[in-house]
Structure 1
Amino acid sequence: TVEETATLRHVLLLCFIACMTLVARTALQIWVALHLRRFRIDVEDNLLARKHVTQSRILQQVGSLLIVAVGISAALMSFDSVRQYGVSLLASAGAAGLVVGLALQPVLRNLFAGIQLAITQPIRIDDAVIVEGEWGNVEEIGGTYVVIRIWDKR
């Protein structure tokens, strides 16, 4: 019937959006991996390599978050009822932007902090640091956290 066909088309559209989101995230991961193949951290003079690894990993996380956000937005906009709300939100974008900005303040703060870490690089991957009297090396830098590998492998 017509209703079943429309439902099937909508499900296929959602599957297509999900696949394109997955393809975009995978392409980003492949691009970062290919970019980082040129840099080796295990050599003695590795400052430039650590700089690129740090920037690439943080910017990959930010890019991945943006790709997922666009994918979810596209999937939601495929529903007629949600699209109507989206159009009315665009019509009142100033007020809605303030409300959404206030609601997402912690998320946006962490996102911008991650970008700032990637650009200014106060710490890099494999830097030696001292935290609470224990020394270790920076193993991973995320948008909201830093993983330190302590000298005794804890």
Structure 2
Amino acid sequence: MERRRSLPDVLAGAIFILIGGAFVAGALGYELGTPLRMGPGAFPLLVGAIMAALGLAIVVKGLVAGEMISFGPVPWRAVAAIVLALLFFGFTVRGLGFVPASAVTALLATLASTRVRPLAAVAVTAGLTVAGTLIFVVGLQLRIPLLGPWLGF
């Protein structure tokens, strides 16, 4: 039985390794701290190392046990919706505040799928906004206003 190498897996794994390595390299420029009192470089270092390790695993899988995969057409609607959502959040979070920017971002992201119904999109938006607020503003205590100056707050 002949094993085939999977070029898409190898390329995807290499991209993961490069991005993870960039995070690790960038994180080393910051203080790492201790496990109980982590510095600003600890989290990016951990994320970058995990991403690079996953990339290495994907490369090995692609070289050892690859399989041929045929890709379908590019889902341009999904690509555009996700990119637009990320750009919207990045450009408006300081002006609108965390809650409105997160809500609109989540709603835009749900437009990536053609199968999501309006009620489900609203439910996902509400859930992600509440979860994001609890995690980032309450739990991690990021200093981002809930409602921003563009809304008069």
For the aligned pair, the TM-score class normalised by the smaller chain equals 0.3 to 0.5
**Max radius of gyration: which structure?**
1
TM-score in terms of structure 1 length: 0.32
TM-score in terms of structure 2 length: 0.32
Higher strand share: 1
